[in-house]
Every structure is written in structure tokens, then in C-alpha cells.
Amino acid sequence: MNTHTTFNPEFLSQHGLNLHAVFDIQSLPQDIKQQLAENNKDLSSFSQIILIGNGGRLFWKKLGKFGNNSENPVDDYSCSLVSKWIDSLANNFSYKIIYPPSCDINLQKIGQLVGWHHHSPFMVGINNNWGTWYAYRVVILTDSTFEVHPYIEPGLSPCKKCAKKPCITQCPGKAVTEKKFSLDDCINYRQEKNSSCRTTCLSRISCPVATEHQYTEEQINYHYSRSLQTIINCA
């Protein structure tokens, strides 16, 4: 008999966290289970993992109403929403947020299980529905009994169908090529004084897939300004 509880993420979707997937931990690939076990000594207390993300522009719009009195507004907003959502449910279950800020699981690999993720030449996840304009926001361990999402074959990457490859031709730092992505070339170019990629990624914004979901310039600049500061701090 199926004892799973209906999964209702409407509250999350209304507030911008519109991507969700539920997995039974025991059904996960062995390497993911091992990674979880190594980083969570209390893993046996939980039965499921919930992956939550956002696609498109709504998340940023809603985040703006959350306020800017936080060092990490994206993470704080996401976790706040998840906590409110869980508290609003009739089902009483325990949970533990394992991302953010730390990451106890390979987000890209688990995203592949539900068809969210393909690799792109510029090392940002891409899919046919959202292009590169989506992100993983929260991962939760729970002892819930939600309906699980079926594994989805990822199908053909949209990059395989792209003939012009503007992400390669538009990369001013020559970090993106047909054969590989050079992180060193990317980092070096972004730190140049007159770099046109200090607060954006010209490869990413030139991608023709799902451009209707492209983040606003404000959001793009926010994320890339923070990543640039991380690069500078680690130099």
C-alpha cells in the first residue's frame, strides 16, 4: 500500500522557489548516499531528501521584498521560506537543512537525476526549460513520507543542438573552447581592470537557450560581483 503523503510546494513556488524534487534516500545512487553518510552522522534519522531551486526571474523579484539586512540575503531568504513552508504543513516531521551554506551533496549530480542539469561549455548547468537561468537553493534531509519524483532521463543537452556556439565566440578571456573550459583563464580575465566580465559572464548571457528566463541585469551583477570578490579574497 502506498503510504506517501502528497507533496504540495505551492507556497514555495509562489515565493520564487519553483523547482522541487523529493527522493527516498535509500533509492539514491550509492555514491550520493555515501557522501551524505560521510557528512551527516545522523543520516539514519531521515528517510528522504528534498532538493529545492529556482528557475527564472520570480525568485529575485520576491527576494527584493525580503529586505537587504543580511550578509547572505539569497541563502537567508531561501532558508526562511523553507522553514515557513515546513511549519505550515499539517504533517509533523523533522528536518535538517544541509545546504546552504555547506554542501554535503553533489548538487549537479542529484540535479541530473530529475533532468535539471546538463554540463555547458562555460561550466554552468543548463537545461531545455530554463537554459542556465536556474539555481540550487536548499537541500533538506527529512523523515517525511512525501511522494517521490521519478528519475528522468536527461535527454539531449541543448548545447549539442547549438550550431553557432556563441558562448565560445563571445568569451573575451578565451576561457571557453570546444574542448575544455579554462578556469584559470576565466579568473585571470575577470580580474583585469577593464574586464567586461567583472560583474557578468558574456558567454552565459550570449547563450540562446531559454532567453525569456534570463536573470535581470541587477541579479546577474549581484551574483558575479560576489563571485569576483571571492576570487580576489582567495588570490
Q: Is 124 found in the same domain as 16?
A: yes
Q: Is 114 found in the same domain as 19?
A: yes
pTM: 0.93
Q: Is 182 found in the same domain as 84?
A: no
Residue (of 29, 43, 26, 5) closest to 140 by Cα position: 43
- Tell me what pLDDT residue 1 has: 38
- With both helix axes pointing from N to C terminus, report the angle between 217-234 and 183-190 in degrees, rounded to the nearest 10: 100
Residue numbers of the domain that contains 126: 10-142
- Tell me what pLDDT residue 68 has: 63
- Tell me what pLDDT residue 67 has: 65
pLDDT, averaged per 10 consecutive residues of the chain (235 residues), comes to 75 96 95 94 95 97 79 93 89 89 88 93 95 97 92 87 95 95 97 96 98 97 95 88
How many domains in the chain?
A: 2
Residue 198 near residue 224, CB atoms below 8 Å: yes
Of the residues 113, 142, 171, the one at which a domain ends: 142
- Tell me what pLDDT residue 3 has: 62
